[in-house]
Structure 1
Amino acid sequence: MNSLHIDFQKTALVLIDLQKGIVKQPNGQEIAEKAARLVKLFREKAGFISFVRVDFHDGQDRLNPKTDQPVNAVQLPADWAEFVPELGVGDEDYIVTKRQWGAFFGTDLDLQLRRRGIDTIVLCGIATNIGVESTAREAFQLGYHQIFITDAMMTYSREEHEATCKYIFPRIGKVRTVQQFLSEVNEIA
């Protein structure tokens, strides 16, 4: 395992879909609490944080491809896209609203990171093999260094989570737990 050398002026924390309508899944609260530890660290180090959520303007902007596993159309509660309070998202924070799985396509996330000289992202959130992995693949193609905090992410089954963490993430970045990441950052400080 290669050690981390984090320059918080060039590193962003990108949190995927830690919003009320998604975190309510089993174990979602635990993921939000672990992510909040990372938010606290990045705030202390004056690092850039991007809070990403999925939301829709009028429903016409939802993806609706023909698939073998159809998505049920449901009425979303009014607070569905609000970030969970544990994250402490405020008006001054940078928020990305995406309309699909990945956080780069159709948003200005890449532009905002590059304008700040950021070349590394720390990634966590829900769901590991959907929003997080899609964002990770996009970031890889854009040339970002990545650190995946695997115990601050989850998905619909253990098998799906483990497959992405074992076979995809190590090929495109570094894999850590919250504790490993915090320990390595504190060794350098």
Structure 2
Amino acid sequence: MSKKALIIVDYSNDFISDTGKLTCGKSGQAIEGFIVDRIKHYHEAKENIFFMMDLHFENDPTHPESKSFPPHNIIGTEGRNLYGRVGSIFNDIQHDEHVFFIDKRRYDSFFGTPLDTLLRERKVDTLEIVGVCTDICVLHTASTAYNLNYQLIIPKKGVATFNPQGHEWALTHFKNTLGATVE
């Protein structure tokens, strides 16, 4: 029997809010209800939930993303807070032993974080990944998860990006190349 965990990638104000610094806007807002429902499902089942959050510092020219994207998810700013109802539900459950909030410094939620160790300690073998951006951080996280032999579930209703072509390409890649269940 597989043991699952929910991974929520970068669902912050800067990526989702209309006024976010690097926003997906309406496409990111449209997945909010689905993500909230998945969090409730995993929480009620006492399954592990990981909130993986992009972390940047003000005026950091050393970070590789500085060349590609405007400053976003700056530590200590409102933009880095979890968006809307996802933020509210996190506030209600954040102290439970199966809920984690982990900072990440690259697209990939595994790179330089304790995510893999925490998943293995809990005997997790299947990851359901939701959040943004489908073709950037969700993609890099899913690719590493595949290489680490996790089974993958990527719900179409749970991922979004600001690039419609990139979104469709990534969904196809998850299914055809990474063997993910894309539902």
For the aligned pair, the TM-score class normalised by the smaller chain equals 0.7 to 0.9
In structure 2, the partner of 1:20 is 13
For these two proteins, the number of residue pairs brought into alignment is: 168
Structure 1, 138-147 or 78-87: larger mean CA deviation: 78-87
What is the TM-score when the length of structure 2 is the normalising length?
0.81
Unaligned runs of 5+ in 2: 18-24
In structure 2, the partner of 1:185 is none
What is the TM-score when the length of structure 1 is the normalising length?
0.79
SS across alignment from 1:100: coil
In structure 2, the partner of 1:44 is 44
Q: Please report how far the alpha carbon of residue 175 of structure 1 lies from its aligned counterpart in structure 2 after TM superposition.
A: 2.9
Give the 5 Å matches for 1:93-132. Answer: 93-132=99-138
Q: 1:148 aligns with which of 143, 154, 167?
A: 154
**Structure (1 or 2) with the larger CA radius of gyration:** 1
SS across alignment from 1:168: helix
Contact 2:31 2:160 in 1 (8 A): yes
Q: Please report how far the alpha carbon of residue 65 of structure 1 lies from its aligned counterpart in structure 2 after TM superposition.
A: 6.5
Matches of 1:104 and 1:95 in 2, distance apart? 13
Letter in 2 for 1:116: R
Q: Please report how far the alpha carbon of residue 159 of structure 1 lies from its aligned counterpart in structure 2 after TM superposition.
A: 1.1
SS across alignment from 2:82: coil
SS across alignment from 1:12: strand
Matches of 2:176 and 2:140 in 1, distance apart? 15
How large is the Cα RMSD of the aligned pairs? 2.4
SS across alignment from 2:177: helix
In structure 2, the partner of 1:71 is 69
Matches of 2:44 and 2:118 in 1, distance apart? 21
Contact 1:61 1:99 in 2 (8 A): no
In structure 1, the partner of 2:79 is 80
Contact 1:147 1:173 in 2 (8 A): no
In structure 1, the partner of 2:20 is none
Unaligned runs of 5+ in 1: 1-5, 178-189
Relative to structure 1, is the Cα distance of residues 122 and 73 closer, same or farther in structure 2, using a 3 angstrom cutoff? closer
Q: Please report how far the alpha carbon of residue 71 of structure 1 lies from its aligned counterpart in structure 2 after TM superposition.
A: 2.9
Question: Could you tell me the percent identity over the aligned residues?
Answer: 23
- Answering whether residue 171 of structure 2 is matched by residue 165 of structure 1, we say yes
Matches of 1:131 and 1:169 in 2, distance apart? 17
